[in-house]
Chain A
Amino acid sequence: MKPRLPRTPAAVAGAALVAAMVVLAVIGPPIWGATAERIDAAAILQGTSTAHPLGTDSLGRDLLARVLVAGRFSLALALAATLIGGLAGIVLGALPSVLPGRAARLITGAVNALVAFPGLLLAMFTAVVSGLGARGAVLGIGVAIAPGFARLTQTLAATVAGSDYVSAARMLGVSRRRVLTGHVLPNIAEPLILQLTQSLGGALLGLAGMSFLGLGVQPPSFDWGRLLFDGFARIYVTPEVALGPAAAIALAGIGFNLLGDAMAKAAARTAPAGKKRTAAVPPDPGEPDPGAVLEVRGLSVAFPGGATPVRELSLTIAPGEIVGLVGESGSGKSLTAAAIGGLVPYPGTVGYGRLLLGGRDVATLSGKELGTALAMVFQDPMASLNPALRVGGQLAEVAIVHQGAGRAEANRRAVDRLGHVHLPDPAATARQHPHELSGGMRQRAVIAMGLMATPRLIIADEPTTALDVTVQRQILRLLREVTEETGAAALFISHDIAVVGGLCDRVMVMYAGRVVEELPVARLAAEAAHPYTRALIASLPDMDTDRDRPLASIPGRQPAPSDVGPGCAFADRCALATARCAAERPPLISYGEAGRVACWEVK
């Protein structure tokens, strides 16, 4: 799908200005050409009059007509300069990825030196050397533009050259030249074309500047810069003669820059803007459960454009209980955690029948109350820690902000908490910066941060995915220990059903935004009922898997949130599916002891 220009005022204005310039370039000379050249000895050096709205020049020629006619020449020169600069720059920038090491370094160094050189100086130097006139000016501006293009091409090409697919091509024996034309250039073409559009505006201004300095177009030819140069001498007597060409240059420059910006934005855009949809609020959820730490009824998360990645999710967690939420990427498990913590990214909207944390609606909790009642641990501990601050200070901050503790008291508590998560030398760790710690130690520090207050609920979203198995085991043990000691409940989110099975008390399996099965972990291995849960378990090799038999696998793929049909989302991949499964969505109903399942085929 091609990116479409957004309908912002700036984009529309840019497109309109550029369109007007193109029309002017086409129709200007045939219509006003004769007028622009007509010498009138009776009307020399006039100011504004009805016959000559912008006055006349030293030969009595009408300046309005000359400005309108000069559009074609000005734009053509700018286009030529941009193409010369762009082409030279792209070739210079791409050469290092084809040439052998020494030559490549030489070119890179030359480009770096040229980038450091002021552009206009480079342009003037080239123009003077290659002779005054339009050709010199175009060459000069082209040379001024080239280093920027070379640098951009080089940077973009280096990114592509470092990618796995280029490594793969090299191993396959694909030549450097083929890598350049087949892989590198197609993948960097888009930003380069955008840069060309924006450079066009710059070239136009640059050429006008050259003509204005007398280095560009020489009489009898004329472009906007030349007209401005001629009019400037009279600016104190009849300012309007300079105004016409100045306005034309400004409008064209603004037009190309606005259009270039709009195109760049359109290309960078990924999510299409659709009509705003809010998540539906389900009907009355009944009486709240007084014993639950977290009670969620009918939680939905919706995004504009019709995608609803979380649908009517309900869950209850008791004190000290660890509930595992397991599912593949795109199942909505992380968004569920984000919705509970109030962290759903814009423009998502959250709807729910009930969302109680410690018996109170999350929406009525202040930031401080939510901050002390809820601790969140994410996959990347570096994202939760500020790299510029010492670990201890960051933990102390929590006590100072949320509990109003003094600095000394807060620091003492921070060291105590770091010791609590079994960091070997808590006082020393408190004085270190996050980058000095290993991944496992950082994740411990984040958990310690969550324990600075006395959280009722810990939400851990893939907390061990980035860690080694031996460290993973330690962190999982720590989570278990913390919940047992403090009585806090935990929601543990993972894609790995083995990890969830090893740690949690209860497991909820999500598929395409909905919970499809919920059951106590003791029954997970042998008594899971939903075909998806069973397939997940069967497809996971463990230390007892029979190595002589193929692993189970699930054909097809999980539907995207916007593609979920009216029936069971798993029906397409399910061996048991019937016509009913495709047409009608199975409700999540009680099944077995303390379990729920959503499947028509489970009897």
Chain B
Amino acid sequence: MIIEDLTVRFGAFTAVDRVTLEIPPGRIVGLVGESGSGKSSLARAVSGLVPYTGRIDGAHNVQMVFQDPYASLDPRMTVGDSVAEGVRGRRDRAGRRAEVDRLLGLVSLPADLAGRYPRELSGGQRQRVAVARALGAAPDLLVADEITSALDVSVQGAVLNLVRSLRDELGLSMLFISHNLAVVRYVSDVVAVMHQGRVVEAGPTGQVVGEPAHDYTRALLEAVPRLTGGLRE
């Protein structure tokens, strides 16, 4: 799909300013930027949740996975019912049930989780359920908005692995948004850097991370916290 000249305005404030970005089929495009850079507004525009001007071509069915898995699942609905919401074209109970089992399997969750409520699940499991629900609608594009930032480090790895396996095994196209450059670098094929509503740099991950062309990209790269030293002189 391709996003062309996309602009999102809230009153007089321009959150996204004439952004053009291509998401090749079966690829993960990572969108990185700081708070207020417009990356979440772009995600919401692509998902059809906020009005925009410009063109979005080649993606009719866009689904989104949200940041907070504690807020994105209805606490009064079982996991199975939540996932079944997205299942299309199967009206009978047994067919839906089988499809829910298949979707839970795709995100490496046991089928018996279908009868549980979200409060019985860990944050990582909830986020997998949210991914399964989105996959049920067979999306052309999955938008993942900071999906690991509310998770503990020990389960973040599993969710990132899932994201990569969905691309490799299902050929899913994805817009992966994060403020964490290390996380974006790990999952993305292409990285786009947003700053003040504009994409200031975009290119293959190795190139953007290895030879950043824009000053802002360099500043972001330098600020990534590193386990070994950096601040101890």
Contact = CB atoms under 8 A, between A and B. Distances in A.
Contact of B161 (A469, A495, A503, A553): A553
Contacts of B226: 498, 501-502, 542-543
B228 A495 contact: no
A431 to B, nearest CB: 25
A496 B153 contact: yes
A469 B224 contact: yes
A538 B158 CA distance: 12
B231 A477 contact: yes
A99 B74 CA distance: 22
A379 interface: no
Given A547-B185, A547-B186, A173 B137 contact: yes
Contacts of A558: 152, 154
Contacts of B17: none
Given A164-B72, A470-B220, A476-B231, A496 B225 contact: yes
B103 to A, nearest CB: 12
Given A164-B68, A182-B77, A550-B161, A172 B136 contact: yes
B86 A469 contact: no
Nearest to A331: B152
A551 B161 contact: yes
Contact of A168 (B134, B180, B181): B134
B173 interface: no
B125 to A, nearest CB: 8
Interface string A522-536: 001100000000011
A558 B164 CA distance: 25
A469 B153 contact: no
Nearest to A537: B227
Residues of A contacting B: mostly: helix
Contacts of A501: 225-228
A168 B225 contact: no
A545 B186 contact: yes
Chain B CB count within 10 A is highest, among A480, A550, A552, for A550
A540 B232 contact: no
Nearest to B125: A557
Interface in B159-193: 160-161, 164, 179-183, 185-186
A337 to B, nearest CB: 18
Interface in B54-96: 62-64, 66, 68, 71-77, 81-82, 85-86, 88
A174 interface: yes
Given A187-B74, A497-B227, A545 B68 contact: no
Contacts of B48: 171
A541 B185 contact: yes
Contacts of A524: 227-228
Contact of B231 (A480, A496, A535): A480
Interface string B191-233: 0000000000000010001000000000111111111111111
Given A498-B226, A536-B153, A165 B72 contact: yes
A328 B157 contact: no
A172 B63 CA distance: 7
Interface residues of A, number: 56
A412 B85 CA distance: 62
A468 interface: yes
B144 interface: no
A389 B35 CA distance: 26
B49 A551 contact: no
A584 B90 CA distance: 52
A422 to B, nearest CB: 15
B133 A168 contact: yes
B53 interface: no
Contacts of A174: 85
A476 B229 CA distance: 12
B67 to A, nearest CB: 8
A499 B228 CA distance: 9
B164 A553 contact: no
Contact of B137 (A164, A172, A187, A537): A172
B155 interface: yes
Contact of A553 (B66, B154, B225): B154
Contacts of B220: 469-470
Given A329-B152, A539-B153, A171 B49 contact: yes
Contact of B74 (A183, A496, A502, A541): A183
Contact of A470 (B64, B133, B223): B223
Contacts of A542: 182, 224, 226-227
A168 B219 contact: no
Chain B CB count within 10 A is highest, among A183, A498, A537, for A498
B122 interface: yes
B158 to A, nearest CB: 4
Given A164-B66, A525-B227, A539-B157, A183 B77 contact: yes
B20 interface: no
Contact of A328 (B81, B154, B182, B221): B154
Contacts of B181: 469, 543
Interface in A494-524: 495-499, 501-503, 505, 521, 524
Contact of A171 (B35, B63, B68, B182): B63
25 contacts: A164-B68, A165-B71, A165-B82, A168-B130, A171-B63, A172-B133, A186-B76, A468-B179, A469-B179, A472-B223, A501-B225, A502-B226, A502-B230, A502-B231, A524-B227, A525-B228, A541-B160, A541-B185, A543-B209, A543-B221, A545-B185, A547-B185, A547-B205, A551-B160, A551-B161
Interface of A: 163-165, 167-174, 182-183, 186-187, 328-329, 439, 468-470, 472-473, 476-477, 480, 495-499, 501-503, 505, 521, 524-525, 535-543, 545, 547, 550-554, 557-558
| Cβ-closest 3 pairs across A and B | A539-B157, A553-B157, A551-B157
Given A480-B231, A539-B154, A558-B152, 18 more contacts: A167-B64, A167-B66, A170-B49, A171-B48, A171-B63, A183-B74, A468-B35, A468-B179, A473-B225, A480-B232, A502-B225, A502-B232, A539-B157, A540-B182, A542-B227, A543-B209, A553-B158, A554-B155
Interface of B: 34-35, 47-49, 62-64, 66, 68, 71-77, 81-82, 85-86, 88, 122, 124, 130, 133-134, 136-137, 152-158, 160-161, 164, 179-183, 185-186, 205, 209, 219-233
